[in-house]
């Protein structure tokens, strides 16, 4: 049987072993914590290094672009621009190459044309053109007839969708006059056969006004038709183009 002294010695030995085991466990925990902190620190250092590297690359790119822009600017500034010189003072003179038409009007040569889609009688159509500063079109050449007939072939929606022009024999049957009072030049007439026929089936007074147009491609330029002036149609307005001006400057 163990004596009292031996029991105390055994308890003291067990307490020392327990205390030593607890100390070892605490050291292990501390070591693990330190290891984790070290790994975290390494990760942070790596990321910071990567950011710094990318920042350096971006700065280098910006420096390169700045040098290119500066070089280009210096080359541009180094070019000498020699201004024109003359002895005369500045002047303003008409410039035929700057002929102008109002918005919506088509310019060709020295004239402006407006293809009105308003459906109205010949007189009403003429009045509308006059309000716009012009009149119903007067055709003076084969070239003008060619130009207008081609334009109308694209603008017409169906066969009878023709346009009034400024030609009439309302004052005297068979005597055709343009809206400016000039007589029709028979060598510059473009009647579709058997026009003009003065057909009275639509109006007892006959057909005293002229419309033109042929849908699609035509074999020739003959696309004038006499028609009752009261029948509503589209129309072609015409007026002179305005001359532009150019300024000649002396330095």
DSSP codes joined into one string, 133-157: T-EE----SHHHHHHHHHHHHHH-S
pLDDT score recorded for residue 24: 58
Q: Are residues 195 and 113 in the same domain?
A: yes
pLDDT score recorded for residue 3: 56
Which of 40, 57, 81 is where one domain is finished?
81
Q: What are phi and psi of 221, to 5 degrees?
A: -95, 0
Which of 36, 60, 81 is where one domain is finished?
81
pLDDT tens digits for range 166-186: 999 999 999 999 999 999 999
Higher pLDDT, 247 or 200: 200
Q: Does pLDDT of 249 surpass 50?
A: no
pLDDT score recorded for residue 160: 94
What is the distance between the alpha carbons of residues 189 and 192, in angstroms, rounded to a whole number? 10
CATH number at residue 98: 3.10.100.10
Q: How many domains does the chain have?
A: 2
pLDDT tens digits for range 32-53: 888 788 888 778 787 777 777 7
Percent of the chain past pLDDT 90, that is, above it, reads 54
What is the distance between the alpha carbons of residues 170 and 163, in angstroms, rounded to a whole number? 18
| Residue 207 pLDDT level (bands cut at 50, 70, 90) | very high
- Residue 59 domain flag: yes
pLDDT score recorded for residue 5: 55
Question: Could you give the angle at the alpha carbon of 204 between the alpha carbons of 203 and 205, nearest 5°?
Answer: 90
Q: What are phi and psi of 204, to 5 degrees?
A: -55, -25
Q: Are residues 34 and 103 in the same domain?
A: no
- Residue 248 domain flag: no
Instruction: Please say whether the beta carbons of 202 and 87 come within 8 A.
Output: no
Q: Are residues 177 and 110 in the same domain?
A: yes
Higher pLDDT, 84 or 141: 141
What is the distance between the alpha carbons of residues 24 and 28, in angstroms, rounded to a whole number? 6
What's the whole-number mean pLDDT along residues 132-155?
96
Average pLDDT of the chain is 82
pLDDT score recorded for residue 25: 79
Residues of the domain holding 65 = 1-81
Q: Are residues 107 and 24 in the same domain?
A: no
Q: Does pLDDT of 13 surpass 60?
A: no
Q: Are residues 105 and 74 in the same domain?
A: no
What is the distance between the alpha carbons of residues 223 and 245, in angstroms, rounded to a whole number? 38
- Residue 86 domain flag: no
Q: Does pLDDT of 226 surpass 70?
A: yes
Q: Are residues 65 and 152 in the same domain?
A: no
pLDDT score recorded for residue 78: 58
pLDDT tens digits for range 62-115: 777 677 767 766 766 655 444 444 455 555 445 455 789 999 999 998 999 999
Q: What is the model's pTM? A: 0.60
Which of 24, 50, 81 is where one domain is finished?
81
Q: How far is CA 239 from the centre of its chain?
A: 28
- Residue 3 domain flag: yes
Q: Are residues 65 and 105 in the same domain?
A: no
For residue 235, give both structure tokens. 């129309």
| Residue 248 pLDDT level (bands cut at 50, 70, 90) | very low
Q: Are residues 62 and 102 in the same domain?
A: no
User: For the purposes of burial, counting CB atoms within 10 Å of the CB of 113, is it exposed (0-12), middle (13-18) or buried (19 or more)?
Assistant: buried
pLDDT score recorded for residue 232: 97
Q: Are residues 116 and 234 in the same domain?
A: yes
């Amino acid at each position: 049987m163990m004596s009292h002294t031996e029991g105390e010695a055994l308890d003291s030995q067990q307490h020392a072993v327990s205390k030593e085991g607890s100390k070892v466990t605490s050291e292990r925990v501390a070591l693990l914590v330190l290891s984790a902190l070290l790994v975290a620190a390494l990760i942070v250092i790596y990321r910071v290094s990567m950011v710094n590297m990318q920042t350096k690359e971006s700065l280098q790119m910006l420096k390169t672009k700045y040098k290119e822009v500066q070089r280009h600017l210096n080359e541009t500034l180094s070019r000498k621009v020699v201004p024109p010189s003359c002895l005369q003072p500045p002047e303003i003179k008409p410039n035929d190459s700057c002929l102008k038409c109002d918005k919506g009007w088509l310019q060709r040569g020295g004239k402006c044309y407006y293809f009105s889609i308003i459906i109205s009688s010949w007189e009403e159509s003429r009045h509308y053109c006059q309000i716009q500063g012009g009149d119903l079109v007067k055709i003076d050449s084969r070239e003008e007839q060619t130009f207008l007939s081609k334009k109308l072939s694209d603008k017409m929606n169906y066969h009878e969708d023709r346009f009034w022009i400024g030609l009439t024999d309302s004052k005297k049957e068979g005597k055709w006059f343009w809206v400016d009072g000039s007589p029709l030049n028979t060598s510059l007439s473009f009647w579709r056969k058997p026009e003009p026929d003065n057909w009275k089936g639509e109006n007892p007074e006959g057909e005293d006004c002229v419309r033109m147009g042929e849908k699609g491609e035509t074999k020739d330029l003959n696309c004038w038709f006499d028609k009752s002036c009261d029948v509503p149609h589209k129309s072609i307005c015409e007026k002179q183009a305005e001359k532009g001006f150019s300024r000649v400057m002396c330095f």
